[in-house]
Amino acid sequence: METRKFLRELEPCAIDEAHPDQRRRPYFVPFVLTFCILAVVWMVFSGKFDAFHLSLGGISCALVAWLSSDMLFPPHASLGDTVLSWGRFSLYLPWLLKEIFFANFHLLKLSFHPRMMDLIDPQVFKFNSELKGRMALLTMANSITLTPGTITVNVSVTRKFTIHAIDTPSADALPGEMQKKVALAFGERRRNEGG
């Protein structure tokens, strides 16, 4: 629910001005495609194929598809743009997993360091994001929270992030490369652009 609230707060700002009439338009094909994707994932991970579990899975998939089909299939994007976006995002995921892996080791080292109390320097800081799209902002916020040592406290409508970090190196890394990778994943930056 927090995700939907965040996205609704962003709607009035100038993020999607290019397509204001298509923002909340209901449409059937994206709902069906989202439902099918969710149903396949649910069946693979649940492994339960009796009538009771299949009906609960179907209801759950239908509810989630109804609430979020416009996230997977934006109403103003063509199918080609959507597939391209998924491809770019699939390239972002390995980078994020690598960052999560190294952040875990950083916290492990921090936890077992003899001067742990001197190295831990909890802090809350803010930065303005260059990201424009709703899903790019949401992905950046979730990526920060998924990375051990940092938590996204708030993202304002004006694209200002409030972050809690456990130490100075964790804080200094943001927004940095993560913002560039998210921008690239959502087509807000080209690979050959500087920075």
Can you tell me the distance from the alpha carbon of 115 to that of 166, in angstroms, rounded to the nearest whole number? 15
Can you tell me the distance from the alpha carbon of 179 to that of 90, in angstroms, rounded to the nearest whole number? 16
In this structure, the answer to whether residues 181 and 88 fall within a common structural domain is: yes
> pLDDT-based confidence at 192, cuts 50/70/90?
very low
In this structure, the answer to whether residues 111 and 176 fall within a common structural domain is: yes
The residue among 42, 72, 102 that closes a domain is 72
Burial call 133-147: b when 16+ CB within 10 Å, e when fewer: bbbbbbbbbebbeeb
Asked whether 153 and 162 are in contact (CB, 8 A), the reply is: yes
Predicted confidence at residue 15, as pLDDT, reads 42
Can you tell me the distance from the alpha carbon of 149 to that of 169, in angstroms, rounded to the nearest whole number? 10
The residue among 17, 49, 72 that closes a domain is 72
Query: Does residue 192 sit within a domain?
Result: no
In this structure, the answer to whether residues 86 and 177 fall within a common structural domain is: yes
- 3-state secondary structure (DSSP) of residue 131: coil
Query: Does residue 120 sit within a domain?
Result: yes
C-alpha distances in angstroms, 50 versus 54, 56, 59, 63, 94?
Answer: 6, 10, 14, 20, 35
Tens of pLDDT, residue by residue over 46-90, are 988 899 999 999 999 999 999 888 777 777 777 777 788 888 888
Strand partners, 162: 126, 154
Can you tell me the distance from the alpha carbon of 150 to that of 171, in angstroms, rounded to the nearest whole number? 8
Domain that holds residue 63: 2-72
Predicted confidence at residue 6, as pLDDT, reads 52
Query: Does residue 30 sit within a domain?
Result: yes
Query: Does residue 193 sit within a domain?
Result: no
Higher pLDDT, 93 or 10: 93
φ, ψ of residue 51 to 5 degrees: the values are -60, -40
C-alpha distances in angstroms, 14 versus 9, 165, 185?
Answer: 12, 30, 21
Tens of pLDDT, residue by residue over 124-162, are 999 999 998 888 899 999 999 998 999 999 999 899 999
In this structure, the answer to whether residues 181 and 90 fall within a common structural domain is: yes
Tens of pLDDT, residue by residue over 88-104, are 888 999 999 999 999 99
In this structure, the answer to whether residues 97 and 36 fall within a common structural domain is: no
The residue among 55, 72, 89 that closes a domain is 72
In this structure, the answer to whether residues 97 and 159 fall within a common structural domain is: yes
In this structure, the answer to whether residues 116 and 34 fall within a common structural domain is: no
In this structure, the answer to whether residues 84 and 126 fall within a common structural domain is: yes
Tens of pLDDT, residue by residue over 178-189, are 999 999 988 887
Edge-to-edge strands, sheet with 150-155: 123-128, 160-165, 150-155
In this structure, the answer to whether residues 126 and 68 fall within a common structural domain is: no
Predicted confidence at residue 33, as pLDDT, reads 87
Specify the number of domains making up the chain: 2
Query: Does residue 191 sit within a domain?
Result: no
